[in-house]
Structure 1
Amino acid sequence: MKVIETKRLILRWLSIDDADFILNLLNEPAWLRFIGDRGVRTLEDAKNYLLTGPMDMYSRFGFGLYLIALKDNRIPIGICGLIKRESLVDVDIGFALLSTFQSKGYGYEAASATMTYGIEQLGLKRIVAITSMDNHDSSKLLEKIGMKFEGNILLPNDSVKLKLYAYDY
């Protein structure tokens, strides 16, 4: 299901058919370094990730992570969306792109459209984001879409501090 359309991108719900793409994305060096190893090593692992992550979130909240595809040829290039984590009070935005599609403005285009969608369509008054301390590119992107650094946080059952950003509407 298409959720957001921008000048160059379509953001749509992920499905089981996206398992190959998810397997590749979750094993990208940047994903493993900045987001973390989710233990997705096989197509079956990727399908389980989709079912218990994004697809479960769609059914519970009506939103989640969306597949980012190029509008002209529908090639999947990443994910971006809104997440409701038990460990955070507010909904947060998340994004990741395949390395070959980074630094081309796609992350900004997808993230800014997702923020607009969250505010205008979902009625969110506050959206947050978390990123690892050394993920400077994500920090820059979060600031570019209007988020402000609020401080460092430690999520429950975690030992690594993260940077917390927020946008209040």
Structure 2
Amino acid sequence: MSLVQTERLQLRLLRDDDGDAAAMLQLLNEPGFHEFIGDRGVRTLEQAREYVQKHTFGSYAANGFGMYAIERRSDGAWLGNAGLVRREGLPCADVGYALLGAYTGQGYALEAVQGVLAYARGTLGLGELRAIVSQGNARSVALLEKVGFRDDGTVVLPGKDEQLLLFVNMPASAA
């Protein structure tokens, strides 16, 4: 079931099946994912399934939102994921996304994030949103700025060592 539809994409809940687990395994081991998001240590299909169950399904249950599969509407291709995460150390949900390398640079991330923002505001009724970005990830910074996020300094999340760039996005009525 599609939660969000854009011109070229649909975002849907991740499923507990081999297709989504295999796609997540591939995504979690992309060089760009390791460089800018981190190595989650997921190397097998079973570990990918456990990762989705713990992190994604856990977020759906606890928060009513999470990361969603990004599929291309024209052919159903699984492109990556995008959605909302509730992290310790941040005052509200943050927007996240990651694409398989074959699909970067084609505007899909921008379109997915725009869809997530519309869903967060229109369906979930969320106000302030945050985003975190690894230093040096200029493409993500540019994307966030393009959709209305503004620089809000840096943050080190609890239990982590990396200083991350922090961005904030307020609804138009609160800006």
| Alpha-carbon offset, residue 111 of structure 1 | 0.1
Give SS of 1:77's match: strand
* Matches of 2:87 and 2:159, distance apart in 1: 13
Contact 2:67–2:84 (CA under 8 A) maintained in structure 1: yes
Answering whether residue 39 of structure 2 is matched by residue 10 of structure 1, we say no
TM-score (norm 1): 0.98
Query: What do the CA deviations read for 1:95-137 (whole angstroms, capped 9, x no partner)?
Result: 0001110010100000011111101111111000001011111
| Alpha-carbon offset, residue 86 of structure 1 | 2.2
Q: What does 1:13-162 correspond to in 2, within 5 Å?
A: 13-17=13-17, 18-162=20-164
Structure 2 segments unaligned to the other structure (5+ residues): none
* Matches of 1:155 and 1:8, distance apart in 2: 34
* Matches of 1:57 and 1:15, distance apart in 2: 13
Contact 2:88–2:158 (CA under 8 A) maintained in structure 1: no
* Matches of 2:48 and 2:89, distance apart in 1: 23
Give SS of 2:61's match: helix
Structure 1 segments unaligned to the other structure (5+ residues): none
Q: Which runs of 4+ in 1 moved over 6 A?
A: none
Letter in 2 for 1:52: K
* Matches of 2:35 and 2:125, distance apart in 1: 33
* Matches of 1:159 and 1:73, distance apart in 2: 41
TM-score (norm 2): 0.94
Identical aligned residues as a percent:
41
| Alpha-carbon offset, residue 62 of structure 1 | 1.4
The correspondence for 1:168, drawn from 167, 170, 173, is 170
| Alpha-carbon offset, residue 87 of structure 1 | 2.5
Give SS of 1:53's match: helix
Give SS of 1:10's match: strand
* Matches of 1:113 and 1:41, distance apart in 2: 30
* Matches of 1:74 and 1:62, distance apart in 2: 25
* Matches of 1:131 and 1:86, distance apart in 2: 16
